[in-house]
Amino acid sequence: MATTARTAGEGVLRGVPVEPMILAGCPENGVILDPFMGAGTTGMVAKMNYRNFIGIELNPKYIDIARKRIDATLVNKKLNFKLMGKDG
Ligand SMILES: C[S@@+](CC[C@H](N)C(=O)[O-])C[C@H]1O[C@@H](n2cnc3c(N)ncnc32)[C@H](O)[C@@H]1O
């Protein structure tokens, strides 16, 4: 995975900024679906921009990492987040 701690904070995945796509493609309080969630950068940027998020990930280690990173992303608004792997 090419995402680093530094680029994740800026919402960049493999050199492509995530934030403009989230802002253009989903209204505030809408839901972003990432079926290949990885370490959860898209979920973090969704949360920063007051979007709800559903993330699906094959690798349980990444689900754990994504949950921690998204939990550590602070916003002052209640949002719904669901992270899913093969065991539900
Ligand atoms: C490059 S990462 C995606 C990065 C992510 N979109 C983000 O915002 O950080 C790709 C991820 O897709 C996962 N993946 C690959 N095939 C999958 C599948 N069939 N179902 C769910 N996740 C899958 C891999 O385990 C890997 O973690």
List the one residue out of 24, 26, 18 whose CA is nearest residue 44: 18
Question: How many domains does one find in the chain?
Answer: 1
In contact, 44 and 7? CB cutoff 8 Å: no
37 lines ligand 1 (CB under 6 A): yes
* Structural domain range at position 39: 5-84
Cα 77 to Cα 17, 49, 64, 80, distances in angstroms: 23, 10, 23, 10
CATH number for the domain that contains residue 50: 3.40.50.150
12 lines ligand 1 (CB under 6 A): no
Ligand 1 centroid distance, CA of 2 (Å): 12
68 lines ligand 1 (CB under 6 A): no
Tens-digit pLDDT profile for residues 19-70: 999 999 999 999 999 999 999 999 999 999 999 999 999 999 999 999 999 9
pTM of the prediction? 0.81
More confidently predicted of 13 and 86: 86
How confident is the model at residue 15, as a pLDDT?
67
